[in-house]
Structure 1
Amino acid sequence: IYTAETKNRFKIVVVSSDMGGTSDPYVKLKFGGKEVFRSKIIHKDLNPVWDEKACIVLEHLREPLYIKVFDYDFGLQDDFMGSAYLDLTSFELKRPTEVTLHLKDPRYPDHDLGSLSLIVTLSRRESEHREATMLMRKSWKRSSKLQNQSLRLYDLHRKAQLWRGIVSVIVIEGRDLKAMDTNGLSDPYVKFRLGHQKYKTKTMNKTLNPQWREQFDFHLYEEQGGIMDITVWDKDAGKRDDFIGRCQVDLSTLSKEHTHKLELKLEEGEGHLVLLVTLTASATVSISDLSVNTLEDQAEREEKVKRYSLLRSFCNLKDVGFVQIKVIRAEGLLVADVTGKSDPFCVVELSNDRLQTHTVYKNLNPEWNKVFTFNVKDIHSVLEVTVYDEDRDRSADFLGKVAIPLLSIQNGEQKAYVLKNKQLTGPTKGVIYLEIDVIFNAVKASIRTLSPKEQKYIEEEPRISKQLLVRHFNRVKRCIMVVVNAAYYVNSCFDWDSPQRSLAAFLYKPLLRVAFSKHSITTIKLIPY
């Protein structure tokens, strides 16, 4: 097991991505198909200086470190600005080495997109290497020792939650916002973004001092907190919305388990935004291997059953239950790559909780053998399991999806689910094998049913559907053809293309003229009398 330390010193970008001739760049580091680091965003700069350090744990050096640079676009899909590979086998251990990488676009390899400078230090983690070796040696011994190894692994995995806590935000009000409309007022709304999570408030019409009083939650993925981006917009019907101002909240500066009232001054605009922000610890979701199975441990199962027993019906009403999903394998998936294979990974979603497996490369019958656990907030929620094909420089391709209501689950039953299309209206190719267990408190579930359904704020980036576009185009085409054919039909009556049709039109014309004359209409009105 190795540790790679990278430090971003500076970067020069030749091509800008924003209309203003600048960019808002940030850097992603990926290893083994997984994102292992994401830098902060440097706004409006073509020569940004990050001066950040990333410590990455690597199991081997066979794969290069994949580095991608993006231009951050709030509310839109971030623009790709270039990528490069870092070969880790060429570095000496424990020796800092400065490296300059030239960014390229795989689609246009001749284009120069700038450069990225790093200082890389590669070292070997001796303590973890000895621990991994000892675990491997234990696995070769008697089967009685496997149980101790699983318990040891379980303790390690239980501490490694996918996210570190929850950020609860209450949008209170805006003060003295900039007037964007001709009437001297605005129709403001606010957009929030933390990583891939987004939230948008409702629009307050015709005011410069809006009162939102809205509450929502974000998941906190980074130990240090991360940056929450906030932008305020003016809603314009039929036109592009006007930008009012922006601000940021550095969550690393806020203490946890405490509510902070923030009055933020809007940059690039006028006015202030008033928020209440609370950071709380969370242990509601986790991911581990099949060897680390919570419910197969009798003590853990008894603890879960006791936690959601009827005797604890009025303790923490929001904690309704617990669900464990084993994602075992898939078979017969769609071919997504030109090689006749796919690079599938699986995403498991329950309301706003979202976890994913690793990617199995060049395989149509992948085996993941992962266990996911979620806390259930609403027993009427639907568990969604989606399979994607990973593409290095593009968004992932959809391969199939299943939706499973929690109330329909049979505990402990391994079942093959047929993958369906995005709308869940018909099957696609392939099946996925899952084993699901649900434990919940019926009283809490009944009380939760009376509350509004939780709003889902983790949404995919909007993409244009080619099928929907073709369907709408054909619909418009058919409407136009109906009008054109009707015009041809009327014109043919006067051109004597068909004597019978023209004669009928000649006879009907005086009848229609008489029927709709003023005297006829007056006579028709007198009939009831």
Structure 2
Amino acid sequence: MDRVIVRVKRGLNLAIRDAESSDPYVLIKMANQKLETRVVERNINPEWNEDLALSISDPHLPVQLFVYDKDKFFDDKMGEAEFDINPFLEVAKKRLELEGLQDGTIITKIEPNRQNCLAEESQIVWKDGKVVQNMFLRLKNVESGEVELQLSMENMLGLLRIRVQRGINLAIRDTFSRSSDPCVVFQMGKQKLKTRVVKRSLNPEWNEDLTLCISDPPLPVQLFVYDRDIFSFDDKMGEAEFDINPIVEAVKMGLEGLPDGTTIRTILPNRQNRLVERSQIVWKDGQVVQNMALRLKDVECGEVELQLRWIKLPTPSGL
């Protein structure tokens, strides 16, 4: 599996949804993935220049793009488009064959037609040692507007499965019930994952698996706990950050054949990490696994227990 980086560059002549302008942002969807840009306030020709990373499990699925005007209660639609990622992936598979091409060489062209949303010819080129596709998409179901994108490829090291096990002695945020309705949010770069909400519990048990795509070099993972509210903003219940470099380094050691349960590395609590107690990286069931308990900061109390498990990707063919 690889990731396609969708650079959302800018919008052109977008629709007006407020008095004289709009507050637009872009939502990209593919299968169950949803990725958003930031909001650019009061601008119908916004420049985002923001990278969104799509994990490609089925290249035949279309990528959907939606533009919305950010409002306090309900966001207004400002058009949508759809594009086929297959032409780009087919060229990217031949990347090794393209080494040595002159920078800026056009590899293939895709013409606008009734089936795609292209506003003009889209070119797939060799640029800065990688395959890149530039495109302008004409928004449909709206009076006007285009969005400029650029596609490029990012290789992944693997997948990190985070089992969110439980929270311990979390903070009270609902004074009436003397409890909270907690959920956990993980963020790494542009990736954002969220557990379900456990109602009225300061010691919730999620036992829920979330998966992050890891590239090289790996970024730190941020963890946030929130109390879910229906009629107001979710209340913060603390946060933490953890470094996944130790588990990535263990994976790179090539540990196949170790006895099950072998301890690879022990990480002790210190002022830099949020560990409650020592965290061990072990070889278990043919995978590298790390258990950790994190003490939440910026809150009166609370801990979260996690288990990290490295999921090795199949050897890519050509990519």
TM-score normalised by the chain length of structure 1 = 0.32
Structure number with greater CO (CA < 8 Å, separation at least 6) is 2
Structure ranking higher in strand proportion: 2
Give the structure-2-normalised TM-score. 0.49
